Structure 1
Amino acid sequence: MIIWKGLGILNIVVLAIMFVIVNLLLSALGLGSMDSKLPLAFGFIVSGVIIWYMGKALNAKSGKVLVDMETGQHYKLGTSHSLFFIPMHYWGPVSLVIGFILIVASIFT
């Protein structure tokens, strides 16, 4: 079960689109028989950068802060964008780390 809030599902969409683009480019260049870890790593790294900037931009614009004049409390209204309760932009570095782990794994195998 996938749990998201706002546009957090875009994390998965961006990853899927990057994997399709990488596979189409490799097959168009005749490199479809390449080790499967390197194209996968490239997809994770590029999508990590995209997800980071997209998440920062979306979460910066989400919500207004209202102040209760009587109590002085601040209330944030609006939607944050998250996947599995983790803000969208934090999935960018996670994707980068997975990509670099795949590169290291392809070097040592």
Structure 2
Amino acid sequence: MIVWKGFGILNIVVPGILFVIVGSLVSALGLDSIDSRLPMAFVFIVSGVIIWYLGKALNADSDKVLVDMETGQRYRMGTQHSLFFIPMHYWGPAGLAIGFILIVASIFI
């Protein structure tokens, strides 16, 4: 079961779209003979960068707190965009790490 809040589902949608685009380009250009981990690494690295900046932009307003002057009660603005209760922008470095691990694996294994 996938649990997300706000636009956190984009952590799955962005790499999915990039997988389709890169897979189509690899097939169309006749590059089927290359190691399949390299296009996947490219997808994870690019989607990691996209998700980092997109998550930072979407979560920029979620930390603002408004204070009611009469009652002193605090209200948190916006929603925290997250996937599996982890803020969206933290998934970007995870994608980068997976991409670099795939590159290293394709070189040494």
Provide TM-score, normalisation by structure 1.
0.91
Unaligned runs of 5+ in 1: none
| Counterpart for residue 82 of structure 1 | 82
| Counterpart for residue 68 of structure 2 | 68
CA contact (8 A) 1:23 1:32 kept: no
1:14-29 → structure 2 map (5 Å cutoff): 14-29=14-29
SS of the equivalent of 1:61 reads: coil
Deviations 1:36-87 (A, max 9, x none): 1111101000000100111111111347522032564532132110000011
Give the distance between the partners of 2:75 and 2:61, measured in 1 at CA: 15
**Aligned CA-pair RMSD:** 1.6
Q: How many residues align?
A: 109
Question: Which of 20-29 and 58-67 deviates more?
Answer: 58-67
Give the distance between the partners of 2:46 and 2:74, measured in 1 at CA: 37
- Between the two proteins, what is the percent identity of the paired residues? 78
Give the distance between the partners of 2:80 and 2:64, measured in 1 at CA: 11
